[in-house]
Copies of this chain bind each other. A is one copy, B any other.
C-alpha cells in the first residue's frame, strides 16, 4: 500500500478535518477489505442516526490528535 498517511500536518483546520475523516474510515477499510460490502454497509449506516453519531465520535477523536499535531493551526 502506497504511503496513504505521509504526514499529520495540514495547511488548514478544514484539511485537518478531512484527514480525521480519512483516518476514521481507514480502520473500516482495513477491517472490511471488500469494497462492495463496505458500500452496502455505507447505505445502511448513512440512514442510521446512531451510526452517524458514532462516526462523528471517531472523527472527533482523530481530529483532536490531528489538531494537536498542527499546534491547533494557531497563527504563529
Contacts and interface: CB of A to CB of B under 8 A. Distances in A.
Nearest to A16: B5
- In the complex, the count of this chain's copies comes to 6
Contact of A54 (B6, B54, B74): B54
Contacts of A75: 9
Contacts of A54: 50, 53-54, 57
Given A48-B49, A63-B23, A8 B73 contact: yes
Main secondary structure of the interface of A (DSSP, over half): helix
Task: Select the residue from A8, A48, A49, A63 with max chain B CB neighbours within 10 A.
Answer: A49
For chain A, which range describes its interface: under 10, 10 to 19, 20 to 34, or 35 or more residues? 35 or more
Interface in A29-76: 30-32, 37, 41, 44-65, 67-69, 72-75
